[in-house]
Amino acid sequence: MSALVLLLACGDDGGDGTCELGTSEGCDEGLVCEAVAGGDPACFAPVFVEGRVFDTATDGGIGDARVVALDVNGGARSTVVFSAADGSYRLPVPAERDAEGNPTSDRVTLRVAAQGYQRFPTAPRQALPLELADAAMDGETGDWVLMNAATDVGLVGLPGGAAGLATIEGVVEADDPGGVLVVAVQGEAAVSTAVTDTDGGFRLHNVPAGTTALEGYRLGLAVTPETVEVAGAPVTGVVLAGSTEGLGAVEGDVNIVDGGGAGETSVILGLESTFDETAARAEVPAGLRVGGVSGAFSFTDVPPGRYVVLAAFENDGLVRDPDEGIAGTDIVRIEVMAGDTVSLDTAFKVTGALATVSPGADSVETVTAAPTLEWADDSSEDGYEVELFDAFGELVEEAEVPGVSGSATVTHMVGATLEAGMIYQFRARSFRDSPSGDRSYISATEDLRGVFLYAP
């Protein structure tokens, strides 16, 4: 179908010849109004991301899973769909077009949640980007469809399933309500999170009974918290009000030492209520990341709240210096107040990472037997401490491996009993022991590498 025909389809119902972006208003049946690169919005066949949500342990489909598309910064790019009983879903995603009606290059990721399952993605798992320009025209429906291995999403079942857990549904009301990270907090810890769709809607899964504070976070938006009582039954009709007033700022410095050729890193503000001390992970609201950092960094329009500041958390060849005996290596916790700027007193110390070889060097790798962990050798180490975590951040194995000589890599055979369908991550850090017995750490593997799925 040519761009001319598509353009003429706009306004066929007696309008003024234009269509309303993001809707089907002014378009023929089955078409939607989309942005056009270098031109005015026009009507085109929609783009759908299609796939399946399944249980990683059984491969069975998961019904009623909530699927939403996010942009590269974590902002909402779509409304929400729920998977069918067999786990299949069909998610419409707005996509800019070229003059011929083809989707232009743009990337989105998926966020998926279901009752009784850990949400996806949860660190160290990462959502692989989906290139909308890879969508192909379906000869039967005339729609554009993007479907590949990354559109099938496996979820890890919670140890107790959904027993005694509830859902909370609501909406964030603001001029631009999409992409807000909504957090259910009990005590001081987050028990569930969700991201609003383009209409501001959210559903929190797996919420235990109890008094629950509902908070919202996104760059440029301050959300007024609300409190609800959860008693096992679904909670609906929650309204969270958002405002562009009352925001704060954060500034600090990064010091890259012995970076091994890597000269820039990123800094993120993770919600303290979501921070896992053991695995050093936290959930990051949309926009609370700065990249290309080699020295000073700053955040503006930060919503009030308590955060952990993490440097070199992403895969960039660098890690936070693991030597706890020097300044700038501690986890930094801050509280941002409305209208205030938080200035960090000490620069973050960042150093070159130990390269992860296998499994899971670049993405989640499937293994059918207990794997041999492999990483790059350090140059002046006495040995390595190795830790293996499951998808819930539980430590399932730890070991000490002596230093090697004459080999570019170091290995360790996993000895723990692994659970079928579980996601795991290994981490290694090199150390040096002094004559007095004191131990100092030199480097470590990166926070988001070394991830594998055990599927015997």
Note the pLDDT of residue 17.
62
Per-residue pLDDT tens over the stretch 189-229: 999 999 999 999 999 999 999 999 999 999 999 999 999 99
pLDDT for residue 7 is more than 70: no
Distance CA 266, CA 246 (A): 26
User: Are 380 and 420 a contacting pair, CB within 8 Å?
Assistant: no
What is the chain's mean pLDDT, rounded?
92
> Start-end ranges of CATH 2.60.40.4070 in the chain?
356-454
Note the pLDDT of residue 277.
81
Give the residue with greater pLDDT, 237 vs 18.
237
> Start-end ranges of CATH 2.60.40.10 in the chain?
3-155, 166-243
Superfamily (CATH) of domain 166-243: Immunoglobulins (2.60.40.10)
CATH for 356-454 (2.60.260.20, 1.10.1040.10, 2.60.120.10, 2.60.40.4070): 2.60.40.4070
Note the pLDDT of residue 401.
98
pLDDT for residue 6 is more than 80: no
Instruction: Give the pLDDT band of residue 182 (cuts 50, 70, 90).
Output: very high
The mean per-residue pLDDT over the stretch 116-130 comes to: 91
- C-alpha distances in angstroms, 106 versus 42, 93, 121, 152, 362? 18, 11, 20, 19, 21
Q: SS3 of 446, please?
A: coil
- Which residues, in sequence order, are CB contacts of 61 under 8 Å at separation 6+? 52, 53, 54, 55, 83, 84, 85, 86, 87, 88
Instruction: Give the pLDDT band of residue 231 (cuts 50, 70, 90).
Output: very high
Predicted model pTM: 0.85
Instruction: Give the pLDDT band of residue 97 (cuts 50, 70, 90).
Output: very high
Distance CA 116, CA 136 (A): 34
Task: Determine if residue 246 is left, alpha or beta; phi over 0 gives left, psi from -120 to 50 gives alpha, anything else beta.
Answer: left
The mean per-residue pLDDT over the stretch 244-266 comes to: 92
Instruction: Give the pLDDT band of residue 2 (cuts 50, 70, 90).
Output: very low
DSSP string, 118-173: --BS-TT--PPPEEGGG-EE-TTT--EEE-SGGGSEEEPBPTTTTTT-EEEEEEEE
Per-residue pLDDT tens over the stretch 66-83: 999 998 778 889 999 999
The mean per-residue pLDDT over the stretch 51-76 comes to: 94
DSSP string, 178-237: TT-EEEEEETTEEEEEEE--TT-EEEEEEEPSEEEEEEEEETTEEE--EEEEE-SS-EEE
Note the pLDDT of residue 325.
66
Return the structure tokens found at 262. 């890597």
- Please determine, looking at this structure, whether the domain spanning 3-155 carries the CATH number 1.10.3720.10: no
Note the pLDDT of residue 26.
92
Distance CA 314, CA 134 (A): 26
> How would CATH label the architecture of 248-352?
Sandwich (2.60)
User: Are 74 and 285 a contacting pair, CB within 8 Å?
Assistant: yes
Note the pLDDT of residue 320.
87
Q: Which of these ranges, 125-129, 147-151, 252-256, has the smallest mean pLDDT?
A: 125-129
pLDDT for residue 447 is more than 90: no
The mean per-residue pLDDT over the stretch 29-58 comes to: 96
Note the pLDDT of residue 276.
86
The mean per-residue pLDDT over the stretch 226-243 comes to: 97
